[in-house]
């Protein structure tokens, strides 16, 4: 499956790489093999994985055999976003 990076997502990844060493490869790995996928806003999805006492979240859309990364971020609010046990 192809991965499409928006300019915004690329900028955010660079910011998070400086803060928490979140690499482009890690983001793509979460997108392709998430621990969990939840519904986002306006028909989007959010791939997420637990990381460093928090959660790496990657909102995306599906486009004809590709996943388009809209943005990404790390949050410490695991209980707010993690669904189920």
Give strand pairing partners of 55.
50, 75
pTM over 0.85: yes
For 68, counting Cβ atoms within 10 Å of its Cβ (0-12 exposed, 13-18 middle, 19+ buried), the class is: middle
Task: Please give the CATH topology (third level) of the domain spanning 2-79.
Answer: YaeB-like fold (3.30.2310)
Compute CA 38 distance to the chain's CA centroid, rounded to the nearest angstrom: 11
Contact indicator for 60, 73 with CB cutoff of 8 Å: no
16-72 pLDDT, tens digit each: 999 999 999 999 999 999 999 999 999 999 999 999 899 999 999 999 999 999 999
Tokens representing 49? 């994985």
């Amino acid at each position: 499956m192809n991965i499409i990076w928006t300019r915004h997502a690329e900028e955010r990844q660079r910011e998070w790489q400086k803060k928490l060493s979140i690499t482009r490869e890690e983001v793509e790995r979460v997108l392709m093999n998430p621990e969990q996928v939840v519904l986002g806003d306006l028909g989007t999805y959010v791939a997420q994985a637990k990381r460093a006492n928090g959660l790496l979240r990657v909102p995306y859309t599906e486009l004809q055999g590709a996943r388009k990364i809209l943005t990404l971020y790390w949050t410490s609010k695991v209980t707010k976003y993690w669904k189920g046990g």
